[in-house]
Structure 1
Amino acid sequence: MKPPLPPSTSSALRKTRPSPYFYTFLTFTVFVLILYCEDLLSIFDRNELVPIKPIPETGKEKETKSTSQLPFVIGEPEETGKKEETESKSKLPFAIGEPEEIGKKKEAKSMSKLPFAIGETEEGCDIFSGRWVRDELTRPLYEESECPYIQPQLTCQEHGRPDKEYQKFRWQPYGCDLPRFNATLMLESLRGKRMMFVGDSLNRGQYVSMVCLLHRILPPNAKSLESSIDQSLTVFRAKDYNATIEFNWAPFLLESNSDNAIVHRVDDRMVKKGSINKHGKNWKGVDVLVFNTYLWWMTGRKMKFLKGKGSFKDEKKDIEELTTEDAYRVAMKSILKWVRKNMDRNKTRVFFTSMSPLHIKSQEWGGEPDGNCYNETTLIEDPNY
C-alpha cells in the first residue's frame, strides 16, 4: 500500500486535472479528424488550390494598363483613360450585333465591329475614310513568286513590271488604326466556315490576295484549290480548319451572257431579268459573303435585259433596253431581296465592295490630255478624284 501523498502535492494535482468537459471536446475533435482526414489528405496530395475570387472594383479605374484584343495584331494597343465597367462584351464570329453577357446590363459604349476582328474601335471611326501611307516595315505581306494561285494576267512582276513601290502601301483611316493581319487568327476565325467572294475581276483579285495571304502557313497536304471547267466557281480549302474560301464569277450578279469566266461577251452584254437564283444557289450556307458589281455595267449605251424564259443563244429574243442607272438599280434590288430572303443575319456577314476608280484618261488626275495609266507608278494625291 502506497503511502499517501503530502497534502501540498495532492492539492496541486487536483488543481491541474482537466475538467470532464475537456475530455468530451477532445473526443469530439478526434472523431471529426478521423471522419474527414482522408478527404483533407487527398486535397493536399493533389496540390489542388481553391481559387480566391477577387473582390470586384466598383467605381475605380484600372490601376494596370488594359489592352484590347485585336486579331491580326502583333502586340496590343493600350487603352488609356477608359473605365473597366464599359468594355465587357461577348463576341460571336461574323455576328451582326452582340449578345448581352449573363447578369450584366448592356451599359457599354456603342462600338463598331471590324470584319474578322476580336476587339472593337469606338463608334464614329470611319474605316473607309483615309489615305494610303507608305509602310516599309510590314509590306508587302506576300511575294508574288511565293503564291502559286495567282492567275498569269495578275503576275505583274513576272511579266516585267520594273517597279515594286506599289507593294509598300497600306490603308490608314483618318480616325483609327486597322488591325495588322495575322494568317493564323484569320484561319481560326474561319474554322468550320465558308467565305465567298462574288463578282467580277475586282473581287477575283481580292479573293486571290486572300488565298495568297493564308496559304503560306498551311502544309502542302493541308490545302487544295479546285475550279469548275469554266472557272466560274473556284474553291480553296484549308483542310485542317474545315474552312473554304471561294470565288464565284458573276460580273452582273444576275445571269448574263458573260458568266463564263474564260469566254466573255464584251461588246454585246446582256443580262436576264429575275435570274438572281442562277448564281444564288452557290451562295446559300455561306458565312461571309463579299459582293461586287459595277464596271461591267458601264457600256456607254443602254443595257439589254432578256425577258421571259428565253436563252441567250436564241435567234429571236424578247429584249428590253434600260439605261445604265435603271439596269444597275434592278441588279441592286435583286441582290438585296435575295440576301433578306436567304441569309440568316445572325450567322452571315454580308459585305458589298464599292467600285474601283477608272484609270483610263490621265487628264482626270492631272496627266496629259491623251494619256492613260501607262507608266503611272505613283499614287494620285488629289483626294477629290
Structure 2
Amino acid sequence: MAFFSWLCVLGFTVLWSVASPLFHVQGNGCDFSLGNWVVDDSYYPLYDASRDCPFIGQGFNCLKNGRPDLEYLKYRWKPSSCDLPRFNGVDFLERYRGKKIMFVGDSISNNMWQSLTCLLHTAVPKSNYALQVLSKHLTVFTFLEYDASIMWLKNGLLVDVAHDKEKGRIVKLDSIKSAHKWNGVDVLIFNTYHWWTHLRDSKTLVQFQVGNEIIKDMNPMEAYKIGLTTWSKWVDANIDPSKTRVLFQGIAASHTEGKGCLNRTHPHHGPQPPYPGVEIVQNVLSGMSCPVYLLDITLMTQMRIDGHPSFYTGKGTSYEDCSHWCLAGAPDTWNEILYAALLGL
C-alpha cells in the first residue's frame, strides 16, 4: 500500500499540477463547480438524441417521449471566473485511442455514460461503433476506428452486497471484493450516492456489516461515509496513477421533494442550500493519499430543476422522474468538465 500511496502523490503532481486538495480547481485558477446557467441557443443542444444517437435509453430521451418545451435544451454552464472549454469529440477519441474508460456507479452514472457516448458519436457519425451488453452489470460502447471503449459497470454502492434468505440484503461496508473488475482500465469515473438514500425505503430488509458485526439500524449517511472510505482505501492501495486516472462523479441533486419537477421549464439561480452527502464526499477525498479529481456537479444540478424527465420517460404519467436527466441536457455539461479535467485544460 505504501508503494502505491507514494506513486499517487508523485503521479498526481505530474498529471494534474493543481493546488486544490479536491482537484476540482483547474491550474488556471478556475473552479468549474461555481457559476450559473445561461441561454446559448446558438450552440446548444449539442445533439438531437433521437436523430443523432438512436442508442440513447428511452427514459432519457425526453423529446421523443413528448416533452413539449425546448428551453431546457439551450442552457450552457458558465463558470464564475472563466469559460468551460468546448467539447471536442474528435480530439477526445484521438487522445484516448486504444484506451478504456469506465464509469462505475448507479443509473446517474449511466446517465453520464450515455451522454458521453452520444457526444463522441455525434463528433464522428460515420465511424463504426459496437454496443455490447456483456452482462446485466457491464455495457461497452466501442469506437472501432479508434479502438476506444467507453464502459458502464453498474455498481450502485461500490462496496459488496450479500443476499441472505433470513437476514435479507447485507451491505458489507468494509468489503470491496468486486474491485477486481476495475483493473486494466485507463480512466475510472466512480459514482455512488443515490442508492444509499433509498436503503431505508427499500421493501427488502437491509442490514449493514462491519467485520463480523451485523448492524440492523444505521443512519444511511453514516453507512455512506464508511462505505466511501472503504473505496478510498482501495484506490490508495491499488491504483498506479502512471497507468490509471481516477475521477469521482460528485453528487447530482434530485428534486423529488415538495412539488417535484413537473412543468418546471427554467433553472433556479443564485445560492443553493447545502446538499446532503457533499461534505462526506469532500472529507473522504481530501483524506486520500491518492487524490481523485472531483467532478463537482452538485450546485449546477441543484439549479436545474427543469432538466429532469418528469413524466416524459415513456412510462406514462404514473411515474415522475425527478432524479435522472434528459438527454440532451445537464449531463452533457458534466462531460464537458470531464473533457477539460482529463486534458488539463
For Structure 1 versus Structure 2, the TM-score category normalised by the shorter chain is 0.5 to 0.7
Code of the residue aligned with 2:224 in structure 1: it is Y
Q: Does 1:206 align with 2:105?
A: no
1:127, 1:173 within 8 Å by CA — same for their partners in 2?
Answer: yes
For residues 98 and 319 of structure 1, the distance between their equivalents in structure 2, rounded to whole angstroms, comes to 43
User: For structure 1, which runs of at least 5 residues remain unmatched after alignment?
Assistant: 1-94, 100-109, 114-119, 259-267, 310-316, 363-370
Which residue identity does 2:198 align to in structure 1? T
SS at match of 2:161: coil
1:152 alignment partner AA: Q
CA RMSD of aligned residues (A): 2.8
Match for residue 271 of structure 2? 383
Letter of the 1:346 partner, please give it.
S
Matched, 1:134 2:34: no
Measured after TM superposition, the shift of residue 122 of structure 1 is: 4.5
Map residues 152-167 of structure 1 onto 2, 5 A cutoff: 152-167=58-73
Amino acid in structure 1 at the alignment position of 2:91: L
Preserved CA contact (<8 Å) 1:135 1:170: yes
In structure 2, what is the equivalent of residue 47 of structure 1? none
* Residue number among 87, 92, 98 corresponding to 1:186 in the alignment: 92
Q: Are the counterparts in 2 of residues 257 and 270 from structure 1 also a CA contact under 8 Å?
A: yes
Is the CA contact 2:171–2:208 (under 8 Å) kept in the aligned structure 1?
Answer: yes
Residue among 254, 268, 272 paired with 2:159: 254
3-state SS of 2:36 partner: strand
Query: 1:238 and 1:254 mapped to 2: Cα distance?
Result: 30
Residue deviations 1:288-342, cap 9 Å, x none? 1111111111137496225679xxxxxxx95644222221112111111111122
Alignment of 1:1-385 (within 5 A): 96-98=12-14, 122-145=27-50, 146-218=52-124, 222-230=128-136, 232-256=137-161, 270-278=170-178, 280-299=179-198, 301=200, 304-306=207-209, 320-362=216-258, 371-385=259-273
* Secondary structure of 2:171's aligned partner: strand
- Paired letter, 2:230: S
Which is worse superposed, 199-208 or 290-299? 290-299
Cα separation, 1, equivalents of 2:126 and 2:215: 50
Deviation at 1:228, TM superposition (A): 2.8
* Alignment check: 8 A CA contact 2:103 2:151 kept: yes
Deviation at 1:96, TM superposition (A): 3.1
- Segments of 4+ moved more than 6 angstroms: none
In 2, Cα distance between the equivalents of 1:245 and 1:139? 23
Q: Is the 8 A contact 1:96 1:349 kept in 2?
A: no
Where does residue 298 of structure 2 map in the other structure? none
- Looking at structure 2, the residues matched to 308 and 176 of structure 1 have their Cα atoms a distance apart, in angstroms, of 47
**8 Å CA contact retained: 1:251, 1:293:** yes
If asked which structure has higher relative contact order (CA below 8 Å, sep 6+), I would say 2
- CA shift, 1:139, in A, is 0.6
Identity among equivalent pairs (%): 39
For 2:194, the aligned partner's letter is: L
Q: Which amino acid aligns with 1:274?
A: D
Task: Name the structure 1 match of 2:276.
Answer: none
The answer (yes or no) to whether the contact 1:218–1:238 under 8 Å persists in 2 is no
The 3-state SS of whatever aligns with 1:293 is: coil
Contact 1:121 1:176 in 2 (8 A): no
Write out per-residue CA displacement over residues 345-384 of structure 1, whole angstroms, 9 at most, x where no aligned residue: 123221111112231234xxxxxxxx22111111012422
Task: State the Cα deviation string for residues 71-112 of structure 1 (Å, max 9, x = none).
Answer: xxxxxxxxxxxxxxxxxxxxxxxx73338xxxxxxxxxx767
Structure-2 separation of matches of 1:209 and 1:269: 32
Distance 1:306 1:121 in 2: 39
How far is 1:167 from its partner?
Answer: 1.1
Q: List gaps (5 residues or longer) in structure 2.
A: 1-10, 274-345
Q: How many residues align?
A: 249
